[in-house]
Amino acid sequence: MTSREHQPVADALVLFGATGDLAKRKLFPALYRLEQRGLLRVPVIGVARSDWTDEAFCQNAHDAIIAAIPDAAASTIEPLMKRLDLIQGDYADPATWTGLRDTLDKHHSQQAVFYMAIPPSMFPTVAESLASVGLNERGRIVVEKPFGRDWASAVALNKTLHSVFPEDRIYRIDHYL
């Protein structure tokens, strides 16, 4: 097991809930700032249930950036939009997961960061589905939002995550802490 200090550099960012409110309000503006500073060097793959085209996804990201950063430069937005890919599908559908794996393979990704900008009730489904196609072996998971509704649900979620990812590949962001 490797320590967090020695984790390989991420080579892709996968955003679950990429068409949702958290992505729109916080994540796309943050990605713009990373691109602006020359720190974003990886593909950004959105996964969402929304029935959107890649073009609609990019337009949504563009609009979110402009809403948050009115003076955003086209010279920064354009390369960011070229990094975006969208996997549209239901989280319960195995085709969504093989599609994600194929997209990561297309980008030669071996160390993705899986960012959960989805309702906490979906964390177990997504974590277990990543494992079903071997992606838990190729990345780290970031769980965003309250970590469970209460102590019992937090313990259950932690148990599920540990059944799929070792502790040094689980990153938790809890707004209530």
- pLDDT tens digits, one per residue of 86-128: 999 999 999 999 999 999 999 999 999 999 999 888 999 999 9
C-alpha to C-alpha distance for 139 and 14, rounded to whole angstroms:
10
Q: What is the architecture, at CATH level 2, of domain 4-173? A: 3-Layer(aba) Sandwich (3.40)
- Is the Cβ–Cβ distance between 91 and 53 less than 8 Å? no
C-alpha to C-alpha distance for 49 and 56, rounded to whole angstroms:
13
C-alpha to C-alpha distance for 91 and 89, rounded to whole angstroms:
6
What percent of the chain lies above the pLDDT cut of 70? 93
> What is the 3-state secondary structure of 110-173?
CCEEEEECCCHHHHHHHHHHHHHCCHHHHEEEEEECCCCCCHHHHHHHHHHHHHHCCHHHEEEE
pLDDT of 46-60, one tens digit each? 999 988 999 999 999
**pLDDT over 60 (residue 4):** no
pLDDT at 153: 87
pLDDT at 144: 76
**Predicted TM-score (pTM) of this structure:** 0.92
- Is the Cβ–Cβ distance between 140 and 172 less than 8 Å? no
